[in-house]
Amino acid sequence: MTPFELAEPTSLKEAIKLLDPDDPTIRPVGGGTALMLMMKAGVFKPVKLISLRRIENSYSTIAATGDGLRIGAMTTLAALERSADVKKAAPLITRTLKTLSNIRVRNVATVGGALAHGDPHMDLPPVLMALGATLTVMGPKGERKLAVEDLFAGYYETVLDKDELIAEAHVPAHGTKKAAYMKVTTGSADDWPALGVAVVLEGDAGGIKSARIVASAATDKATRLKSAEAALIGGKVDDTLLAKVGDAAADEAEYIADVRGSISYKRELMRVYVRRAVRAALEGAK
């Protein structure tokens, strides 16, 4: 890797001051697992990295709140995976982490990095979107709330300014909602997915009251499929209804072609897996 400087501020505020809204060669680093890949490939040559690893410890902790979870952005994915609070309030997250990368990466990668990278293949963005999670984002002008749903602007792009940091994620508890996440790998089992589908539903097979369906990986960014959601609400959930939901999802999504599949292939995957994910949620995914 080409040489760069590393700043290690001890507070989030200090870290924000060290960032520059106009200089893309200065970037924050959490676990560094995603940035290292880009730096090694020479795609990203930083002049300076601002490490978040020494900021206040509270940003590395998880707390159960009245209605869900507060997760510090520097929380590692391994801590998230092992948290009893997460398993209780949002078991979908715990299940998702089991197949997210490997233990060594999860030991180091952070929640903030998993979101801010804007990589459409990652698992947490669709899952947190389907759960209706929001973020606390901090910048020079103070803090703002941002729904994870509104975070992604495009392929590896977010709406964050270069001097803004994700500070916390807030995840509403599942409660009686039913949830599932499916990822479809077309290469080896642990390859990046060709498609991810996250589903969170209120109701049962007799009728769905509310639904959030999010697709990722096949699309340039994690995307809510609102017409599929609308098709699912109301009627009895049977094969006919599920076929309509699958078709709506397949028509609605905008696909990207890559080594994991062509556009037409991913469209068919979408049709099938949105159906399967809804079924899995209703049947209680393991």
Partner 1 sequence: MSATKTISFTLNGAPVTADVKPHHNLVELLQGQFGLTGARETCGQGLCGCCTVIVDGLAVSGCLYLAAFLNDGAEVSTVEGLDTPAKLSPVQEAFVETAAFQCGYCTPGFILMVGQLLDEHPDPDDDQIKHYLTGNLCRCATYPQVMEAVRLAAKKRKAGAAA
Ligand X SMILES: Cc1cc2nc3c(=O)[nH]c(=O)nc-3n(C[C@H](O)[C@H](O)[C@H](O)COP(=O)(O)OP(=O)(O)OC[C@H]3O[C@@H](n4cnc5c(N)ncnc54)[C@H](O)[C@@H]3O)c2cc1C
Number of residue whose CB is nearest ligand X: 113
Taking the C-alpha atoms of residue 216 and residue 277, their distance in angstroms, rounded to an integer, is 13
Indicate whether 246 belongs to the interface with ligand X (CB under 6 A).
no
Residue 108 within binding range of partner 1, rule CB under 8 A: yes
Q: Which of 105, 182, 256, 272 binds partner 1 (CB under 8 A)?
A: 105
233/209 Cα distance (integer angstroms): 6
- Is residue 80 within 8 Å of residue 176, measured between CB atoms? no
Report the residue number, 28 or 203, with the smaller CB distance to partner 1.
28
The conformational region for residue 72 under phi > 0 = left, psi -120 to 50 = alpha, else beta, is beta
Nearer to partner 1, 116 or 245 (CB): 116
Return the residues of window 76-105 that contact ligand X according to CB under 6 A. Answer: 100-101, 105
Q: C-beta of 125: minimal distance to ligand X in Å?
A: 8
Of 51, 61, 94, 186, the one binding partner 1 (CB under 8 A) is 51
Judged by beta carbon distances under 5 to 8 A according to partner kind, the member of ligand X, partner 1, none in contact with residue 3 is: partner 1
Q: How far apart are CA 137 and CA 139, in angstroms?
A: 7
d(CA 204, CA 34): 39
Question: Is residue 94 a contact residue for partner 1 (CB under 8 A)?
Answer: no
The Cα 115–Cα 103 span in angstroms is 19
Site for ligand X in 163-202 (CB under 6 A): 165-166
Asked if residue 123 binds ligand X (CB under 6 A), the reply is: yes
| Helix, coil or strand: residue 253 | coil
Closest CA to 86 of 128, 55, 137, 149: 128
How far, in Å, are 13, 185, 223 from residue 178 at the CA level? 38, 23, 19
Binding interface with partner 1 (CB under 8 A): 1-6, 8, 29, 32-33, 36-37, 39-40, 49, 51, 53, 78, 98, 101-105, 107-108, 190
Binding interface with ligand X (CB under 6 A): 27-35, 52, 73, 100-101, 105, 109-110, 112-114, 116-117, 122-124, 165-166
